[in-house]
Amino acid sequence: MEAKSNGFVMLTKLIEEFKLMSIYSPENLADIKITRAEIHRPGLPLTGFFDYFDPERIQIMGRVETIYLEKLSQKERYERIRAFMEKKPVCIIIARDLTPFPEMVDMAKEFNIPFFTTTISTNSFVSSLIASLSVHLAPTITRHGVLVEVYGLGILMLGDSGIGKSETAIELIKRGHRLIADDAVEISKVSEKTLVGKAPEIIRYYMELRGIGIVDIRRIFGIGSVKETEKIQLIVKLEPWVEGKLYDRMGLENENYNLLGIDIPSITIPVRPGRNLAVILEIAAMNARLKLQGYNTAEEFNKKLEQIYKM
């Protein structure tokens, strides 16, 4: 399935998320869309250098830009600010609750530019805003599967319909773990190393069990049984047990599953009557966490075998 970007996030959503305070809000504020995950510090544009300037990026001004403008003469400051504001950036935000220059306020009104302030320090705000935009505008695909959190590890279960994904998730929830998504999982690439999964809003916290129907996990098991989003750190592929097929019994083979260009560690678990998949997934989660901490049980066991045979 081809990845799709969310395309945009409404500026009003970011204003609410970061509790931005308005200096000037144009009449069309509710219609303004942010389409770029990158932000910009306008230090160079305020000196007159506009090569590669992108007005679609949110402009963040901090103490550095403010002090630079304060040191200019009134006439030069006016000219620099005007040259910058004439580019009509999609939004300007002043960090640290710094007082905006009157010229900027007047020109924001003249050019109809949203102008806000925040009490958060510049670096902290920039980091938080980039992280938020990366999530809102991340490339996204939807996969048929079940996403659960087991011992703090996000596990995406994949497999044919009827293989037992939802039943396994129910058993895990009963054992104190959490459901993120059942049936359809929206997977977003929020960084070059991280995938985050969630459920489409309409089916969030719901689960389909054949013979019973739709159940509300949050109401049945409580608010602690569900979670809105989770990083995908392990993919478990469930498949019917095939007699005679060679399955990995040592765990020495490092298998990966590629999603959105990122390789995620994966394992294949054969399913047949009598296997307690919930317990197996708990062990898989704990084993995966050990690997993340630098300890590989299979490799350590193999080293011991090699030492024995060398004796």
If asked whether residues 164 and 262 sit together in one domain, one would say yes
If asked whether residues 110 and 170 sit together in one domain, one would say no
Give the model's confidence band at 158: pLDDT under 50 very low, under 70 low, under 90 confident, else very high: very high
pTM of the model: 0.77
307 in any annotated domain: no
Q: Which of 100, 135, 170 is the last residue of a domain?
A: 135
CATH number for the domain harbouring residue 147: 3.40.50.300
Residue with tokens 């750190």: 233
Residues 6+ apart with CB under 8 A from 31: none
pLDDT of 238: 94
Question: For the residues 134-157, what does the mean pLDDT come to?
Answer: 95
pLDDT of 251: 67
pLDDT of 273: 84
228 in any annotated domain: yes
pLDDT digits (tens, 9 = 90+) for 159-190: 998 899 999 999 999 999 999 999 999 999 98
pLDDT of 301: 76
Catalytic residue from among 71, 75, 193, 249: 249
pLDDT digits (tens, 9 = 90+) for 15-67: 999 999 999 999 999 999 999 999 999 999 999 999 999 999 999 999 999 99
pLDDT of 39: 95
CATH number for the domain harbouring residue 105: 3.40.1390.20
Catalytic residue from among 77, 136, 165, 227: 165
State the Cα–Cα distance between residues 43 and 60, nearest whole angstrom: 10
If asked whether residues 94 and 195 sit together in one domain, one would say no
If asked whether residues 120 and 162 sit together in one domain, one would say no
The pLDDT mean for the chain works out to 92
Q: Which of 135, 169, 198 is the last residue of a domain?
A: 135
The amino acid occupying position 32 is I
310 in any annotated domain: no
How many folded domains does the chain comprise?
2
Question: For the residues 289-298, what does the mean pLDDT come to?
Answer: 84
Catalytic residue from among 36, 183, 204, 289: 183
Catalytic residue from among 4, 63, 144, 174: 144
308 in any annotated domain: no
Structure tokens belonging to residue 114: 């949203």
144 in catalytic set: yes
Could you give the 3-state DSSP secondary structure of residue 285? helix
Contact 279, 151 (CB under 8 A): no
If asked whether residues 78 and 146 sit together in one domain, one would say no
pLDDT of 274: 80
pLDDT digits (tens, 9 = 90+) for 60-87: 999 999 999 999 999 999 999 999 999 9
210 in catalytic set: no
43 in any annotated domain: yes
| C-alpha closest to that of 215 among 263, 143, 167, 149 | 167
Structure tokens belonging to residue 175: 């054992």
Can you give the residue range of the structural domain that contains 89? 4-135
275 in catalytic set: no
Give the model's confidence band at 252: pLDDT under 50 very low, under 70 low, under 90 confident, else very high: low
If asked whether residues 153 and 274 sit together in one domain, one would say yes
Contact 26, 1 (CB under 8 A): no
If asked whether residues 20 and 115 sit together in one domain, one would say yes
Contact 136, 219 (CB under 8 A): no
pLDDT of 182: 96
249 in catalytic set: yes
pLDDT of 249: 67
pLDDT of 292: 85
